[in-house]
């Protein structure tokens, strides 16, 4: 298609602060500048127990800023739980939100901010059904995993528990205005979370790089994120105390988030969302398991870009043709993921994936908005075939 036929419009908004201990040093000042009355902190219980949330509450308390800690965020948060959070936000008469955690806490807080300022049920505002206006409270985001990217995106993924589906709120108005990327907060991240959320960053960066609306800005950001993950995720996984490796992958997560927020995602996410919504698979893990099969499907749509990525993983591939280099990507990525002990299929779930169940997953995946920016179209049969590569064979 070429750049001459590809206009784009970049909306980069976040005030991004990066550095070791940056939260301790700058959060209170940033919050003070807003001149609000009460901060509503959104997080999960694990982060309270591990002491990570003290990095937020201590400086706020020292600065005499009033706050309330809401920690009832579950993985893959449901719309009903968001509405319970809205009720508490109103009861506490809060007027600012500090979100600290992984993708679930950040998506939850963004949705809560919509629910607290817009009438009715939060799901009414998903998929653009009702507009999200520019009247949200000031949002401060502090990611503590190395894979969400949600701190810089215009998207919040919420589960409709009744329908067993993930739905998205999409609006530039839900992008947090101030983001703190502080690698010290990730030091206690359990090893399997490092592997899963770090793989999510790799998926974000690859999907953003090959997505249909990708442009030279997002390409640059995505390629840099891929390189940082490739070079430093295995170190982070193997050596918990390697602060430099953590800093690299933590920032890579935000970079990849920026890239996909500005360009788009693809079929890895379309197929992984139903696995999380219906079977509770952690988001990053679902993506990591699905990634190789989607690379295989997408390859013919943009061999040049897949060759670029393959040549990052194996520089010797510059000597090979574009198609040979692109064809090498899937095994290279598989090796990379297996070095992080990511399983190759969902058989560990112990679920009998009957034809009906796979059909249902494929329906959900087809309706997931991330499919729209995928570089190669996929009809339902394609999606069923891809699922069958990563699901155990049905025993019935």
* Contacting residues toward Fe ion, per CB under 5 A: 200
CB of 283 to Fe ion, least distance (A): 6
d(CA 64, CA 74): 30
Instruction: Determine contact, residues 251/231, Cβ cutoff 8 Å.
Output: no
CB of 83 to Fe ion, least distance (A): 24
Q: Which residue is nearest to Fe ion (CB)?
A: 200
Complex with Fe ion: residue 200 or 368, whichever CB lies closer: 200
Complex with Fe ion: residue 182 or 200, whichever CB lies closer: 200
d(CA 238, CA 220): 28
Complex with Fe ion: residue 126 or 261, whichever CB lies closer: 261
d(CA 56, CA 51): 10
CB of 293 to Fe ion, least distance (A): 16
d(CA 14, CA 31): 15
Sign, Cα dihedral of 145, 308, 223, 258: negative
CB of 53 to Fe ion, least distance (A): 23
Complex with Fe ion: residue 59 or 77, whichever CB lies closer: 77
d(CA 141, CA 227): 25
CB of 200 to Fe ion, least distance (A): 5
CB of 354 to Fe ion, least distance (A): 27
Complex with Fe ion: residue 197 or 248, whichever CB lies closer: 197
Edge to edge, what strands does the sheet with 39-42 contain? 15-18, 178-181, 139-143, 96-101, 39-42, 67-70
Complex with Fe ion: residue 14 or 41, whichever CB lies closer: 14
d(CA 36, CA 278): 39
């Amino acid at each position: 298609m070429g750049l001459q036929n590809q206009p784009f419009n970049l909306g980069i908004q976040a005030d991004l602060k990066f550095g070791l201990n940056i939260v301790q040093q700058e959060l209170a000042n940033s919050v003070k500048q807003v001149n609000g009355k009460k901060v509503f902190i959104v997080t999960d219980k694990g982060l309270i127990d591990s002491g990570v949330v003290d990095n937020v509450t201590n400086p706020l308390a020292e600065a005499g800023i009033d706050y309330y800690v809401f920690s009832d965020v579950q993985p893959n948060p449901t719309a009903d739980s968001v509405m319970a959070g809205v009720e508490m936000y109103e009861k506490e008469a809060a007027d600012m939100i500090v979100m600290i955690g992984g993708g679930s806490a950040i998506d939850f807080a963004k949705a809560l901010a919509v629910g607290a300022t817009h009438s009715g049920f939060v799901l009414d505002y998903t998929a653009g059904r009702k507009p999200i206006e520019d009247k949200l409270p000031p949002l401060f985001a502090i990611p503590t995993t190395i894979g969400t990217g949600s701190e810089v995106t215009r998207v919040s993924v919420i589960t409709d528990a009744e329908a067993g589906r993930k739905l998205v709120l999409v609006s530039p108005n839900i992008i947090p205005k101030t983001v703190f990327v502080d690698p010290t907060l990730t030091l206690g991240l359990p090893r399997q979370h490092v592997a899963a959320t770090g793989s999510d960053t790799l998926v974000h960066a690859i999907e953003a790089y090959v997505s249909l609306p990708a442009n030279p800005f997002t390409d640059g950001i995505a390629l840099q994120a891929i390189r940082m993950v490739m070079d430093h995720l295995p170190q982070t996984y193997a050596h918990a105390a390697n602060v430099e490796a953590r800093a690299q992958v933590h920032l890579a997560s935000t970079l990849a988030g920026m890239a996909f927020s500005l360009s788009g995602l693809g079929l890895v996410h379309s197929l992984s969302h139903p696995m999380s919504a219906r079977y509770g698979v952690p988001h990053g893990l679902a993506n990591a398991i699905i990634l190789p099969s989607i690379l295989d499907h997408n390859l013919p749509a943009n061999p040049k870009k897949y060759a670029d990525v393959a040549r990052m993983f194996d520089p010797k591939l510059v000597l090979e043709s574009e198609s040979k280099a692109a064809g090498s990507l899937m095994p290279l990525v598989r090796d990379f993921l297996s070095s992080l002990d990511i399983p190759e299929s969902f058989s560990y779930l112990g679920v009998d994936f009957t034809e009906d169940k796979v059909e249902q997953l494929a329906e959900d995946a087809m309706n997931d908005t991330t499919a729209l920016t995928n570089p190669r179209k996929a009809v339902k049969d394609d999606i069923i075939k891809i699922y069958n590569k990563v699901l155990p064979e049905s025993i019935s």
